[in-house]
C-alpha cells in the first residue's frame, strides 16, 4: 500500500486540483510560440525555392512538348507517297500546310506558298511550267529557284523527311530535294522553314 505524498505548503485539496488540471507538455509550449525572424526567413526561402522549381519544371515540359499537332500549320504533315505527283508533273498545293509539294528530277520539295517579295500567294502556271506571282510578277522554277521579278530570293522551303524500310533521309540545311524511291511515308515539317537562296545565287 502506497502512502500519498504531501507537498509542503499545499493542502490536499489543492494538490488534487493540480493533479486534475490539464498537463501541458514542454514541446507544446514551443509549438505555439511565435516564429522568430530566422524561421520566418527560412520559410520564405523554402517557398521561393518551391515556386522556382515549379516554374522550371513547367518551362521544361513546355519546351519538350511539340507546340503544334500533326496536320496543322507549324507541325508535321505526313504524306502518303502514292499521292505525290510524278516527276515533272504539276505541283500539288496543300493550303493547310501552306506549301506546294513539287517532285523534281532531284527529289521532292515542299515550297512555301508565300512569295519572297511582299508575301502574296503565287500560283503554278501549267502553260509556262513555273510559279508566277500575280502581285508584281516574280517567277520561280518548279524547285523554287528565282527566275525574274522583284523577289529578293528563291522560294523558301520546308524541311522534308522521307521514311523508307531501311531508314529515313532528310533534306539538308539548305532544304535540298529528297528522293522518294521506296518511301513508306513522307513528312513535311512546316515548323522548320529554310530561306531560299538569294536571287541570282545557285
Q: Which stretch binds ligand FES (CB under 6 A): 4-12, 50-58, 95-103, 133-141?
A: 133-141
Q: Which C-beta is closer to ligand FES: that of 77 or that of 140?
A: 140
Contacts of 53 (CB under 8 A, 6+ apart): none
Taking the C-alpha atoms of residue 129 and residue 140, their distance in angstroms, rounded to an integer, is 9
Q: What are the Cα distances from residue 126, in Å, to 37, 88, 131, 132?
A: 80, 11, 9, 10
To ligand FES, the closest distance from the beta carbon of 184 in angstroms equals 36
Q: Which stretch binds ligand FES (CB under 6 A): 1-9, 38-46, 92-100, 135-143?
A: 135-143
Closest Cα to residue 160, out of 184, 123, 193, 130? 193
Q: Is 153 in the site for ligand FES (CB under 6 A)?
A: no
Are 80 and 101 in contact by the 8 Å Cβ rule? The answer is no
How many whole angstroms from its chain centre is CA 188? 16
Q: Is 191 in the site for ligand FES (CB under 6 A)?
A: no
Binding-residue total with ligand FES (CB under 6 A): 13
Q: Which residue from 79, 151, 162, 188 is in contact with ligand FES, where contact means CB under 6 A?
A: 151
Q: Is 186 in the site for ligand FES (CB under 6 A)?
A: no
Q: Are strands 146-148 and 185-194 parallel, antiparallel or unpaired?
A: unpaired
Q: Which residue from 77, 99, 109, 117 is in contact with ligand FES, where contact means CB under 6 A?
A: 117
To ligand FES, the closest distance from the beta carbon of 196 in angstroms equals 13
β-strand partners of 111 = 100, 157
Residues of the shown chain interacting with ligand FES in the complex, contacts defined by CB under 6 A: 115, 117-120, 133, 135-138, 149-151
Amino acid at each position: 500500500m502506497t502512502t500519498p505524498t504531501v507537498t509542503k505548503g499545499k493542502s490536499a485539496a489543492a494538490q488534487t486540483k493540480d493533479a486534475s488540471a490539464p498537463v501541458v507538455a514542454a514541446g507544446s509550449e514551443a509549438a505555439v510560440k511565435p516564429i522568430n525572424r530566422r524561421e520566418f526567413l527560412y520559410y520564405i526561402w523554402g517557398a521561393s525555392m518551391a515556386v522556382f522549381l515549379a516554374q522550371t519544371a513547367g518551362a521544361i515540359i513546355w519546351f519538350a512538348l511539340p507546340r503544334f499537332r500533326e496536320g496543322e500549320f507549324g507541325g508535321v504533315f505526313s504524306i502518303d507517297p502514292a499521292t505525290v505527283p510524278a516527276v515533272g508533273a504539276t505541283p500539288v498545293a496543300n493550303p493547310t500546310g501552306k506549301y506546294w509539294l513539287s517532285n523534281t528530277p532531284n527529289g521532292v520539295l515542299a515550297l512555301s506558298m508565300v512569295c519572297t517579295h511582299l508575301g502574296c500567294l503565287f500560283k503554278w502556271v501549267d502553260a509556262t511550267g513555273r510559279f508566277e506571282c500575280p502581285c508584281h510578277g516574280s517567277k520561280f522554277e518548279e524547285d523554287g529557284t528565282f527566275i525574274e521579278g522583284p523577289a529578293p530570293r528563291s522560294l523558301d522551303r520546308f524541311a522534308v523527311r522521307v521514311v523508307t524500310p531501311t531508314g529515313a533521309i532528310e533534306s539538308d540545311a539548305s532544304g535540298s530535294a529528297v528522293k522518294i524511291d521506296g518511301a513508306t511515308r513522307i513528312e513535311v515539317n512546316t515548323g522548320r522553314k529554310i530561306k531560299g537562296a538569294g536571287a541570282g545565287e545557285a
